[in-house]
Chain A
């Protein structure tokens, strides 16, 4: 009997379904929040190690509780709303940021069949929610009624819209290989897809450049260094977050890291074979898929932190040039190349709807 089926039997159709999904949502949201806390800690530790410092090491064993202490400090502070602010929009913006960062996890397959909503347009759902993420930032920038915040919000809107275009084309080339928009199907299509033994689109020479570009685009989409122009502290103080304090700031911060973690989970799903082991070799399947997934996620997060610690920030015009003049033509060309290759090798013959 399925998990939802048991609840439906106990409490009836409507309430049972509701309760089952509520517990499942909590079972995703709570670990994501704990994951965010640990990710912040890991980020600071990796960053410190690369700069030959110790990083947080006082609160709790190895400084593990540092993030929780910071969170407690933030939640106990006073919420300040600037006089000139548009109050409703000002308070709504961090909520939108945080909610969207959590909502997007609904379609993420952690293991075979371990997914809350197995949508057949899962990839488009991810794309739609991540494209809505810009509203949290642009609304906070406008509602703060402050020059720095406004500039940060405008920069962010331009940046995210620009990089979404090439991100869409990268996703198109992945979904042409998988012939599906469902994230579980995309993972399963990577089983032994290269030479019959390697699992993962990244090992495919045609998709390898797309994987690298997707990683860079993910950095730009999550406003991570070297693309953290919206909050560039050297020039804009903290960009759109200038006027936020306590809870509302904490929501922005949590949402930002939840988004980063999501990107660290999405890249393995699309390019590294998701919950599958890297090699299509029976003994490796003894390790549960969930563990493989977490290992890949942790690896991706390390790479994110690595980039943050080593690469200097882009100038704004360089960022725009990279997005529009390099990534967009390249990804557009690559879509044509990939579809031509797939057509040539007869990849689409079995697809439904082919004439």
Chain B
């Protein structure tokens, strides 16, 4: 049963991953990407990491992918222009992917398990009487506290960056000012004009 579930999730994961890069419609690719996230969460559940699985669904499927979809839906992509650009950059792209392929092959053939640098000894599973969630919490805030704080700082920096980018003054940006909207009176906005025959009204 577990083997069947593994092959089901893994197969769907790989298929949807493939569909992400082969579908022509960008919105469809994002939808396939969501299916891929979902199947990855299924694999986490098979590993007994139900907390991580739920977190993957909440964060990636529930928030990140929604924003992806939001952006992609707004884009007006001209496929003709994209294809023209692709032909021009083809040699460069081939060179880069060739280098990456060679590196991956070198690593994959030369690597032997258990000979890398070990930063920490691996932890055994959660102790008796502790759920997955409690165990992750108790390790994350004690043993891995510095790593955890550093990643928190990284996220803070990117958050500040995003806020600064949104709040800078841009030309042609129309901000909503609730005060001015509420303070509008008929005297400032309404007027009666007389339209002559065959002419409009000067505004």
Asked if A120 contacts B27 (CB within 8 A), the reply is no
Q: Which of B51, B69, B137 contacts A353 (CB 8 A)?
A: B137
Residues from chain A with Cβ under 8 Å of B129 in the complex: 352
Is B63 interfacial (CB-CB < 8 Å)? Answer: yes
CA distance A264 to B79 in the complex (A): 47
| Chain A residues within 8 Å of chain B by Cβ, number | 32
Q: Is the interface of B mostly helix, strand, loop or mixed?
A: helix
Query: Which residue of B31, B34, B54, B69 is within 8 Å of A124 (Cβ)?
Result: B54
Q: A89-B31, A132-B57, A142-B27 in contact; A157/B66 too (CB < 8 A)?
A: yes
- Point out the residue from B50, B57, B70, B142 that lies within 8 Å of A157, measured CB to CB: B70
Max chain A C-beta neighbours (<10 A), residue from B31, B58, B133, B137: B58
Within 8 A of A (CB), among B1-44: 1, 25, 27-28, 31, 34
Q: Is A127 on the interface with B (CB-CB < 8 A)?
A: yes
Query: Which residues of chain A in 157-198 are interfacial with respect to chain B, using CB atoms and an 8 Å cutoff?
Result: 157-158, 161, 164, 168, 180-181
A138 x B28 contact (CB < 8 A)? no
Number of interface residues of B (CB under 8 A): 33
Most buried by B among A128, A157, A353: A353
| Bound-complex Cα distance A127 to B53 (A) | 12
Whether B134 and A161, one on each chain, are in contact in the complex, defined by CB atoms closer than 8 angstroms, is: no
Q: Are B51 and A121 in contact (CB under 8 A)?
A: yes
On chain A, the residues within 8 Å of B28 by CB distance are 86, 89
Collect the chain A residues with CB atoms within 8 Å of residue B133's CB.
120-121, 181
B131 touches A (CB below 8 Å)? yes
Separation of A134 and B69 alpha carbons in the complex (Å): 11
Q: Residue on B with the closest CB to A123?
A: B54
- Are A124 and B55 in touch, CB under 8 angstroms? yes
For A180, list chain B residues within 8 Å (CB). Answer: 131
A150 nearest in chain B by CB position: B73
Assuming the contacts A89-B28, A120-B50, A161-B67, asked whether A14 and B134 have C-beta atoms less than 8 A apart, the reply is no
Q: B178 contacts the other chain (Cβ, under 8 Å)?
A: yes
Complex interface: chain B residues within 8 A of A52 (CB): none
With a cutoff of 8 Å between Cβ atoms, the chain B residues found around residue A121 in the complex are 50-51, 54, 132-133
In the complex, given contacts A127-B54, A132-B57, A138-B73, what are 4 additional A-B residue pairs having Cβ atoms less than 8 angstroms apart? A121-B132, A142-B69, A161-B67, A355-B142
Name A's B-contacting residues (CB within 8 A): 14, 86, 89, 119-121, 124-125, 127-128, 131-132, 134-135, 138-139, 142, 150, 154, 157-158, 161, 164, 168, 180-181, 317, 351-355
The 10 A-B residue pairs with the shortest CB-CB distance, nearest first, are A131-B62, A353-B138, A124-B54, A128-B57, A352-B130, A128-B58, A121-B50, A128-B54, A353-B134, A120-B131
